[in-house]
Structure 1
């Protein structure tokens, strides 16, 4: 699994896209997430930078302007303002100033343990945005990429939502078996993500005995692989929301190289809670049989995701390509089949340089 490579884009298109997007808020219509920064980074990372602006032309009309700030975040508010979505612009401004004043890895290391317990806030999208920003920065510390990290961290702080009071349930040895052991919540047809999350009462214990950072990293990679593979047979439970069972822990995995090793074990535990909670909230009543897809090239799968255009399909395919095995690519193709295409005026887009 490729969790350390940065997003290199000699065309400069990714930075242009970030600059284009930073006048928009992290959400729209009250709670829906602005996925564009994550999707354009994924496209650039997969050699599709040439299609980024055309994709944005199609997606950007959905977006809303960055909300007006309330007041600068003070030292006294650093914890009390966590989880207040009305302060999104304030938090983005706060992290912008922090990152301008000192190295971004230092800021990330300070705030990661503060934000980590609230990883499920915003339906896990804030941590995913941060993971994409960290990968972009690994490919070059440009001003737009630093600003993107500030937006991601600010969104995470504004939507911070801890998950507490979960009963530890019998677990399993492997991540795949542990995901299979996750009990579904009651009344899975009712409510959005916050309401469903409140109905998660207990999750299986998995990897709780891990104390070594390197072991935690391996376990996290195992979780990403298991959740990605599982989508091939369970994605029909909710074709959109179940991608986050894989993309959220993968965002954490991508961030690990930029974090102190002391934070890797708690990162694993938070990622497991998020992935298992999403599984509990949206898993189907029964899986479908796994359908092998035979030999399919990773580049072809990336092209199909771009042609489909849906932001969740693009991001899930990006995670599946990190794994790269036959079942992961089959899961990405399953997402292409299940998801609603974004649609492209004039037909299928032309891919960018590889």
Structure 2
């Protein structure tokens, strides 16, 4: 086993150990995120004699919605009353954080890697525990494990409790035109075909045209559109910080990146950033002006324009990420649940297991109801 805090100079060894099948497991993606991260909160473990690798991050409480591994434990989103166990755990949050978590940054995938191989996870679990001790983390975790992942049963056998994470919304793109996609909608349903057609026409008649470019063109006007969205969730970043982030992304990830900009009279009104890797299209960032929002730019830029692009380049799968599930399922996405496997110290294990089981049932019920309610549109 090799342990390091940086992938600089280790890129080839990382590729051999990890066999990345996802953009988020590549040395380029990790290196881009590493550039803005404290090295004392990041660790890579590479198998040498056996396949497999692991990314471990130190994660504190709070942060972005979706970045807190216990969020769904305390906010399942249903009508169930808060249990005694949940109340006790909520009061003990300070005793549960920080986490030493095997997780890929900027994604909803676990930090346990091995490509098509199924590594022996025992030495990686030992390295995770050692990292937790080094970082004084009371809790260890493997985050965002997809259903059916080969490590899931192993983690459950070793005392990790399944806690619901956010689902990944995924669009499967057929080999057809955008017109064929629109024709798949029912004339009656939660989202009717006429509504989709109206959204496309609203955008097209609003005087905006879409231009394709690279990340090196991202600048303050584009940053302002994205920051307008972030401000709704209480986040306050500077445009300069965001531009620098995208400059770094252009350096590491430019070969796979595409930015689509909707302009009116040469002024950007909306944009989307996506990355194409391994037959998947990852929609990662967007921004909209008030004018763009009032003319259906969200649906046009996120769904219809992105679907048309995927069809042009032959990509079969678009990953949209979590949240706003109704809008995504209503446009043809499927929901793929993710599970955080978390191991806490005594005396919290019993309460944690009870609360996690209740939250998992509630979360899966909610996702199933969304898909059942909205799937009649396609």
Taking structure 1 as the reference length, the TM-score comes to 0.24
Structure whose residues are more often strand by fraction: 2
Structure whose residues are more often helix by fraction: 1
Taking structure 2 as the reference length, the TM-score comes to 0.23
Q: Max radius of gyration: which structure?
A: 2
